[in-house]
Structure 1
Amino acid sequence: MTDYLQTFLLEHLEAAEFISILLNILISITGVFPSAPLTFVNVKLFGFWNGFVLSFIGEVLGAALSFWLYRKGFRTLVHTKTPSHSKSLKLLRVQGKESFILILSLRLLPFVPSGLITFFSAVGKGSFAVFISASALGKIPALFIEVYSVYHISQGSMQGKIILMVLSIILLFYISKKWKKKA
């Protein structure tokens, strides 16, 4: 997939940065595709810092547009279909400082899907300003770690090899815990 993305962006080099941002927005709206392959291509084509900035802009704009779309499309539905005694409703009531801290904390966790954070924020009571500020602030360190890892993995450096080894161990640990739960 990364080869296809890279080839596509190289074929449209004059608009590659704009296309990359649009792709990141589409990834955010769908909420199911990981942004890591696009981040990898951004770093490979545009360098470490330019790739970071492009990915950051795309992810923040994508989160903002997704929030707006989800709020317009799902907020009323979720509140009418969720029982008033449900524990999930408590998550939807978070506002202000509490909402900011919760969104920021979730954005810092690497394995929490971005689309879920956006969705629950959009259908909840928190404001757009709180959501976008917490999301942007939380995406900086999370995206930096992702870009740093992608950069060193793509360079084949010793740090990249260590990162791959740690990620492999985490993945194996996660899979083994899932298998143990099923057994």
Structure 2
Amino acid sequence: MKDWMIDLFQAYGGAAYVLSLACNVAISVLGVVPSAFLTAANLTVFGFWPGFWVSFAGEALGAVVSFVLYRKGVRRWNGTKWLSHPSVKPLLHAGGREAFFLILALRLLPFVPSGVVTFVAAIGRTSLSVFTAASSLGKLPALWMEAYAIHQFLEAAWSGKLLLAVASIVLLWFVWRKIGQKTAE
């Protein structure tokens, strides 16, 4: 997918920036597609810092567009059962300063799905301005870490990539085994 995006961006020249923003908005609205391949394409085509800033602008814009669409289209889901889960309630009922710091903290955590944060904030009491500020501010360090990791991976020699792949497979095997042991108990 990354290679296809690189070819697409190179084919469209100056319009590639706008195309990247549009792709980021689409990924954000879908809410479940990871954007790492798009960040990798941006870094490859535009260079590290321009690629980072185009990725940041796209993710921030995508979060705002998603928030607005979710707010208009799915507010009726506010009463669904999964929204009564204790881990969802704080953001759902937060407003103002409390919502700002909750969204900021959730954006800083790399394992919290961005689409879930946007969805819950959109159907909750969070205002668009609070969401935009907290989400964008929280995305800066998280995206920088992602971009730096991707950049280092792209610049690594094939032996480094092979070592990382083997380490990932071993880690996955240990986690899978641990899960299997817990389900057997």
Secondary structure of 1:151 counterpart? helix
1:72 matched to which residue of 2? 72
Structure 2 Cα separation of the partners of residues 173 and 145 of structure 1? 25
Conserved? CA contact 1:40–1:147, under 8 Å: yes
Give CA deviations for 1:86-126 in whole Å, capped at 9, x if unaligned.
Answer: 64445411111211111111101111111111001101111
Give CA deviations for 1:151-178 in whole Å, capped at 9, x if unaligned.
Answer: 1110016xx76x947x837656654554
Structure 2 Cα separation of the partners of residues 54 and 106 of structure 1? 22
- CA RMSD between the two structures: 2.8
Q: Give the TM-score taking structure 1 as reference length.
A: 0.86
1:147 matched to which residue of 2? 147
Structure 2 Cα separation of the partners of residues 2 and 92 of structure 1? 35
Structure 2 Cα separation of the partners of residues 46 and 84 of structure 1? 40
Structure 2 Cα separation of the partners of residues 100 and 108 of structure 1? 12
Gaps of 5+ in 2: none
Structure 2 Cα separation of the partners of residues 53 and 71 of structure 1? 27
Conserved? CA contact 2:91–2:99, under 8 Å: no
2:95 matched to which residue of 1? 95
Does the alignment pair 1:10 with 2:22?
Answer: no
Secondary structure of 1:61 counterpart? helix
| Pairing 1:1-183 to 2, within 5 Å after superposition | 1-75=1-75, 77-82=76-81, 87=86, 88-156=88-156, 164=164, 168=168, 175-183=176-184
Letter paired with 2:94: V
Conserved? CA contact 2:70–2:119, under 8 Å: yes
After TM superposition, give the deviation of residue 180 of structure 1 in Å: 4.2
Give CA deviations for 1:13-65 in whole Å, capped at 9, x if unaligned.
Answer: 23111100110010000001101000001001111100000000000000000
Conserved? CA contact 2:91–2:102, under 8 Å: no
Aligned residues: 181
**How has the CA–CA distance of structure 1 residues 73 and 180 changed in structure 2, closer, same or farther, with 3 Å as cutoff?**
farther
Q: Give the TM-score taking structure 2 as reference length.
A: 0.85
**How has the CA–CA distance of structure 1 residues 13 and 95 changed in structure 2, closer, same or farther, with 3 Å as cutoff?**
same
Structure 2 Cα separation of the partners of residues 174 and 41 of structure 1? 30
Gaps of 5+ in 1: none
After TM superposition, give the deviation of residue 72 of structure 1 in Å: 0.5
Secondary structure of 1:12 counterpart? helix
Q: Percent identity of the aligned residues?
A: 46
Letter paired with 1:25: V
Structure 1 Cα separation of the partners of residues 155 and 83 of structure 2? 52
Secondary structure of 1:33 counterpart? coil
